[in-house]
Amino acid sequence: MSDYHFSDQYKQDATNLNDFKLVGIKSVGWESPSNIALIKYWGKHGDQLPQNPSLSFNLKNSKTKTKLIYQQKESDEPTIRYFFKEKRNTPFEKRVESYFEKIAIYLPFIKKLDFTINSNNTFPHSAGIASSASSFSALAHGLCSVEQELFQTLSNQEEFYRKASFLARLGSGSASRSIPGETILWGKSDLMKESSDEYAITIDNQIHHVFKSYHDAILIIDSGQKLASSSKGHALMENHPFAKARYQQARVNLEKLLLALKSGGEKLFAEIVENEAMTLHALMLSSNPSVSLMKPNTLVVIEKLKEFRRKQRVNFTFTLDAGSNIHILYPNKIRNKMVSFIENELTEFCENGKWIDDTISEGPIQVE
């Protein structure tokens, strides 16, 4: 089996996904979480394929709820209307239109349907909390439900979620990781036989119980839209002088992190997760053109976290995605101490004192 077997398989399967008869208006809803990458995906090739494997935790409270309302097409008018928080969102609507054009080779029936899409986030959009991940994951899971409704081709759960991950990846690479499971790996790795660049897999059965109780306190340093999108950031890696070394570093870090996750090694876990976060931002700073996504308060909070950990001698870590907001990952056993520290010492550096009290979830669920 080649690395790209499933793209070929789904193209072949598509020949049977054309003819259907749909009576009336149908709807399906999915709620999909954002995920926080521990090993970062930064740099891609081909059609949304990663230059290195990445690994993430699914979150519980940072999520997108998307409802697809669909009916058989009756005219040549535009087939997609996209609403975000009950308001027509034309920019993202155009992005979804482009996405549908892209995936029609795998889901040809979508060209014969009219869609109204209603979506909501529980967290700031485009602020470095993987809003594209949760959005495209919810959308892809919804489309797989539509396929199942029309053709009964995805009754096997494993096949359903694999295709949802595959399709989500084509909208946003990190969206491939927002699938059922707490700890998710995306990208081919010799360390995991089932791993693939085309879709993500869960590795929950290889995670020590100490990490099952982890919380994620997301400090909203700045809720505004990022100065550079993730797509532009990935593009900067194409000619980056440190790209080759970075991809090798990520593979080495993945091996160490998997060892920490399996053994319950919280100190090693913290070391790798922080190294990955700082490397991500160092790569952006050393890109051409250079991109700085941290804010002054980001750096202040990082130093306060390090000082608090050193004085209190407790195990926790922090990470950042491609933005200024900080994710503090900590075990339940120190929850009271961490929440008190955040409320008393860190909220003054957050925008309007805002932070999200989150934890690990089991991934997307179908909703009304």
| 24-37 residue pLDDT tens | 999 999 999 999 99
Report the helix count and the strand count for the chain, using DSSP H and E. Answer: 9, 14
Residue 221's pLDDT band, with cuts at 50, 70 and 90, is very high
What's the pTM value of the predicted model, to 2 decimals?
0.94
Residue percentage of the chain with pLDDT more than 90 = 88
Given a contact cutoff of 8 angstroms between Cβ atoms, the answer to whether 107 and 141 are in contact is: no
pLDDT in tens, 321-351: 988 999 999 999 999 999 999 999 999 999 9
**Domains of the chain by residue range:** 5-206, 209-359
pLDDT mean over 191-210: 96
Q: Which of 55, 56, 83 is nearest to 69 (CA)?
A: 83
Q: What's the pLDDT score for residue 78? A: 65
Looking at residue 233, what is its pLDDT?
Answer: 85
Going by pLDDT thresholds of 50, 70 and 90, the confidence category of residue 228 is low
**Which CATH number is correct for 209-359, 3.30.70.270, 3.30.70.890, 3.40.50.800, 2.40.50.140?**
3.30.70.890
C-alpha span between 104 and 347 (Å, rounded): 46
Looking at residue 2, its pLDDT comes to 44
191: left (phi over 0), alpha (psi -120 to 50) or beta: alpha
For residue 268, pLDDT over 60 is answered with yes
Report d(CA 239, CA 241) in Å as an integer: 6
pLDDT at site 74: 79
| 93-110: average pLDDT | 96
pLDDT for 229 beyond 90 = no
Per-residue pLDDT at 12 exceeds 50: yes
- Mean pLDDT value across residues 83-110: 95
Q: CB–CB of 84/120 below 8 Å? A: yes
The topology under which CATH files domain 5-206 is Ribosomal Protein S5; domain 2 (3.30.230)
